[in-house]
Amino acid sequence: MKQIFVFACLSLLLVGATVRVQAPQQKAYKVVFDLTSSDPLDQRAVIRWIQEVSAVNPKNEMEVVMYGRGLDLIVSGKTTMASEVAESIKSAKVTFNACAIAMKNQQVDKTQLLPNAQIVPDGIGEIVAKQNAGWGYIKVGH
């Protein structure tokens, strides 16, 4: 009888330990990435983060807002990450938004942007609006 009791207790402990190890599915969230750098390390970082965030929960929403030299990520002829950007747009809930003010300042025409890249009137304003709507904020850097 004592052996059955010990076996039952050990079984319950084992089941309890197994349940704690399994992480629950995270609730979906929304995050805006702020990219102002043409540094390839920063560009790779934001692509990697998109992949990692998508892997945690495919329902997570992400937006990359590019102004300043960050535009280089989505400008044909300047980017080295065109296929990664295209793949991110296809496989995840991701948008890549170029700041119209930065485009004007750098004389970048919308025809120079990668397919499916979007334009927002003001990159900083877009980030502030997302934060006001409850989105998380990440400044891209290494």
State the DSSP H helix or E strand holding residue 122, giving kind and residue range, or none if neither. Answer: none
Identify whether 12 is part of a domain: no
Give the pLDDT of residue 11.
56
Edge-to-edge strand list for the sheet holding 118-120: 118-120, 93-99, 61-66, 30-35, 136-139
Identify whether 49 is part of a domain: yes
Name the residue range of residue 93's domain: 28-139
Identify whether 6 is part of a domain: no
Quote the pTM value. 0.81
Which CATH number fits the domain that encloses residue 81? 3.40.1260.10
Strands annotated E in the chain: 30-35, 61-66, 93-99, 118-120, 136-139
Identify whether 19 is part of a domain: no
Identify whether 11 is part of a domain: no
pLDDT in tens, the chain (142 residues): 555 554 555 455 555 554 444 556 679 999 999 999 999 999 999 999 999 999 999 999 999 999 999 999 999 999 999 999 999 998 769 999 999 999 999 999 999 999 999 999 999 999 999 999 999 999 999 8
| Residue (of 38, 37, 141, 32) closest to 97 by Cα position | 32
Strand partners, 65: 34, 97
The count of structural domains within the chain is: 1
Distance, in Å, from the CA atom of 9 to the CA atom of 15, rounded to the nearest integer, reads 10
Give the pLDDT of residue 15.
54
Give the pLDDT of residue 80.
93
Please give the span between the terminal C-alpha atoms of the chain, in angstroms, as a whole number.
62
Identify whether 48 is part of a domain: yes
Strands annotated E in 47-135: 61-66, 93-99, 118-120
Identify whether 7 is part of a domain: no
Identify whether 105 is part of a domain: yes
